[in-house]
Amino acid sequence: MKRNTIIFIALPILLSSCLGRLDDISVDPSVLLQSMLSAGAQSPAPAGFTVGGQIYGDTPSGLDLSLSGGTGCGGVQNLSPAATGIYQFVGIPDGCMGTGITITTQPTGVYCQIYNNTGLNVSGANVTGADLYCFSVEMPATTQTTIEGNSNTASIRLSASPGPGGITVNFTSGSGAVTTTASLSFTSANFSTYQNLTLTGAADGNLSSETVTISADVATHAMGGFDTTTLDTTATGMARFIYVTSGTHNGNFASDAALPGSNWVQRADHYCSLNANRPASLVGTGNYRALLTGASTRRSDSGAQLDWPLRAGISYYDQDGTTLFATADASNLFTTPVANLLPGGGDYWTGVGSAPSWTTGSHCASWTVGTTLQTGHFGQGVTNDASLFAFSNFNCDQLKSLLCVQDIRDNGDGTASSVHQNLTWMRCSMGQTYDAATNGCTGAAGTYQYCATGDDSCNGGTSPGLLDGFGPSPMFTACASSTLAGRSWRVPTLAELSELARSYRASPDILPDIMTSYYYATTYAANPTNYYGILFNSSITNGFLAKDSPVAFLLCVSDGM
């Protein structure tokens, strides 16, 4: 005790002596003393070293890592890095041998690949270089279109490098309606370059479409997906839809100013094409015409038909796309009994007085009267016999539906065929390219001269006249040189183009990227220096344009379906 007391007393004396010699130094003695007394109380630095590396690429939200195994490495450590950059497991003892880092949970929608992560040894230094490369799969952001019986491609790439070892992305289809390329491989050199994923639509022989999800994964880890809608073309040339409108109308279509058109046929056809009147499954799909007969303009009578929308050999399906209603016979009519009932049933105007002869009956004075002064024949969709088309007649003030058949249908190859016209049209203007994946048009539409000179040299030497290819005509050459869909193409007549314009007015989806300017027609009835053009607007305007002026666009047509 005595010795300890001496040391306790001597320490302040020693400090006082030392501090006395620091008078000329600007230091607070009390601060210095406090620092000296507290220095011995500081905690030692944590023992051990760090093991980790760098995270590259996409943000690894939800990533979980684990450090485990080895000899002399301590217990298992878990880590959940939330950002790219350096990550570290800390406090690893010196001499740890053979430890390793594993990914226990992959990020959602992102895949991380780790390198140099096994057999790690700590020997007097931190361990680095167990790097992670995180990436996602970039796929189409919009729904694609896959044509039945054909193939198209979807563009796929990675958002970031998969690292030095590369990676394989697997793809699966949610339905047998579409098959897909099984996998695509990416490396650190080509990860940002789009690769084509091939989608093939199964030919199922009906008119139904289906939305299919294409899913991607890496080592069974889900990487998202995209949708593709099947477009039926297996029987497109010889198959169409038939349905009964949900809306009802009296017998006067001719005077209904709410329906575009110049006569009862055009207005009744437009009524059929209104999305509000179609079944939900057929909204936005093709163009429709009314199965309606009158004294003139449109007649159903066998041997005396006029503008009749049915065509021999065409099979007509119910709105589900799989149930066959009937196939038109050699007289462009339906023979009863038909295969199946019409979905929805109900009463609908037809004007047919008797079936199976399909002679015209009462028709509300060619569908110009909507009062009790006239009567009209109608069909009833609750049987499969002649009553389907000629059940009875009733006063024209009654509200009834229409029976509608599809006319123009997308062929899925950049063309659309019309039953009514027996023609096939390009869906994109000359100069554009059809895009099967989006079912639309890309590129710029071109403009063409009708004749190289302002005269009749390119159209038979007379006005009116048809382009004959003997005189120089950039327009004629453009159509004739096209091989789209393996068909022969020509410039349309004024009547043909006008009819297409009316169909477009009712159903704009048939021509996805039509220009708001004039399009060529091959006939002109005035003088040799001008030709007819059609403006695709609400009134379907005809215009006169100079033959040698390249100001109008061009849609080509091919004969037959």
- Do 118 and 142 lie in a common domain? no
Note whether residue 100 is domain-resident: yes
pLDDT, residue 257, reads 93
On average, the pLDDT of the chain sits at: 84
Residues 280 and 162 in one domain: no
**Are residues 277 and 360 both part of a single domain?**
yes
Where b means 16+ CB within 10 Å and e means fewer, 289-324 reads: bbbbbbeebbbbbbeebeebbbbeebbbbbbebebe
What are the pLDDT tens digits along the chain (561 aa)? 334 433 333 333 333 443 344 344 444 444 333 444 334 434 344 468 999 999 999 999 999 999 999 999 999 999 999 999 999 999 999 999 999 999 999 999 999 999 999 999 999 999 999 999 999 999 998 888 887 778 889 999 999 999 999 999 999 999 888 999 999 999 999 999 999 999 998 876 667 778 899 999 999 999 999 988 876 655 555 788 999 999 999 999 999 999 988 899 999 999 998 989 988 888 766 789 999 999 888 898 888 888 899 998 888 888 888 888 888 999 999 999 988 888 777 899 999 998 878 899 999 999 999 999 999 999 998 888 999 999 999 999 999 999 999 998 888 788 999 988 999 999 999 999 988 777 789 999 998 888 888 888 887 777 777 777 777 888 889 999 999 988 999 988 888 888 888 888 888 888 888 877 777 666 664 567 877 778 776 666 677 777 777 777 889 999 988
Q: Are residues 289 and 337 in the same domain?
A: yes
End-to-end CA gap in the chain: 119
Contact (Cβ atoms closer than 8 angstroms) between residue 142 and residue 438: yes
In-domain check, residue 394: yes
Task: Please give the pLDDT value at position 205.
Answer: 64
| Cβ neighbours, 10 Å, residue 462 | 9
527 within some domain: yes
Structure tokens at 417: 């065929």
User: What pLDDT shows up at residue 192?
Assistant: 96
> In whole angstroms, what is the distance from residue 530 CA to residue 451 CA?
10
Is 470 in the same domain as 536? Answer: yes
Q: Is residue 310 part of a domain?
A: yes
**Same-domain pairing of 255 and 389:** yes
Please name which of 371, 431, 429, 428 lies closest in space to residue 399, comparing C-alpha atoms.
Answer: 371
Taking every pair of C-alpha atoms in the chain, what is the biggest distance, in angstroms? 140
**Residue 350 and residue 390 share a domain:** yes
Task: Please indicate, yes or no, if residue 30 is contained in any of the structural domains.
Answer: no
pLDDT tens digits along 479-514 = 999 999 889 999 888 888 888 888 888 888 888 888
What does the pLDDT look like over 242-293, one tens digit per residue? 999 999 999 999 999 999 888 999 999 999 989 899 888 887 667 899 999 9
Residue 11 lies in a domain: no
- The DSSP code for 212 is E
Same domain, yes or no, for 124 and 142? no
Tell me the C-alpha to C-alpha distance, in Å, between residue 238 and each of 14, 149, 305, 401, 406: 113, 15, 20, 26, 11
- Judged by phi (left if over 0) then psi (alpha if -120 to 50, else beta), residue 213 lies in beta
Strand residues in 14-99 grouped as ranges (E) = 49-57, 64-68, 77-79, 85-92
Q: What is the pLDDT of residue 44?
A: 41
Q: Is residue 9 part of a domain?
A: no
Structure token digits, residue 448: 């063409």
Give the domain CATH number at 175: 2.60.40.3170
Q: Using N-to-C axis directions, what is the helix angle for 264-273 and 494-506, rounded to 10°?
A: 40
Residue 269 dihedral angles phi and psi, to the nearest 5°: -60, -40
Instruction: List b or e across 216-231, with b for residues whose CB sees 16 or more CB atoms inside 10 angstroms.
Output: bbbeebebbbbebbbb
Q: Do residues 173 and 55 share a domain?
A: no
Q: Please write down the HEC assignment for all residues of 462-502.
A: CCCCCCCCCCCCHHHHHHHCCCHHHCCCECCCHHHHHHHHH
- pLDDT for the residue numbered 37: 37
Sign of CA dihedral 258, 263, 267, 268: positive
* pLDDT at site 41: 39
Task: State the CATH number of the domain containing residue 327.
Answer: 3.10.100.10
Would you tell me how many other CB atoms lie within 10 Å of the CB of residue 504? Answer: 19
Q: What is the pLDDT of residue 188?
A: 96
Residue 430 contacts residue 414 (beta carbons within 8 Å): no
The parent domain of residue 269 ranges over: 236-406
Question: Is 0.95 topped by the overall pTM?
Answer: no
For the beta sheet containing 77-79, the strands, ordered from the edge strand earlier in sequence to the opposite edge, are: 77-79, 64-68, 100-105
Whichever domain contains 80, its CATH number is: 2.60.40
* Contact in structure between 356 and 297 (CB atoms under 8 Å): no
Quickly list DSSP for 527-550: -TTEEEEEE-STT-EEEEEETT--
Residue 111: its pLDDT value, please?
Answer: 97
Residue 82, SS3 per DSSP: coil
Query: Does any domain span residue 438?
Result: yes
Which of 377, 406, 435 is the last residue in one of the domains?
A: 406
What is the b/e burial string over 255-280, where b = at least 16 CB atoms within 10 angstroms of the residue's CB? ebeebbbebbbbbbbbbbbbeebbbe
Kindly list the distances between the CA atom of residue 538 and the CA atoms of 502, 506, 508, 515, 534, in Å, as whole numbers in the listed order: 9, 10, 11, 13, 12
> Using alpha carbons only, how large is the chain's radius of gyration in Å?
39
Domain boundary among 406, 435, 459: 406
User: E strand or H helix at 18, and its extent?
Assistant: helix 2-20
| Domains held by the chain: number | 4
Residues 217 and 319 in one domain: no
Residues 185 and 271 in one domain: no
Same domain as 309, residue 165: no
Distance CA 99, CA 65 (A): 13
Listed residues 91, 115, 135: the one ending a domain: 135
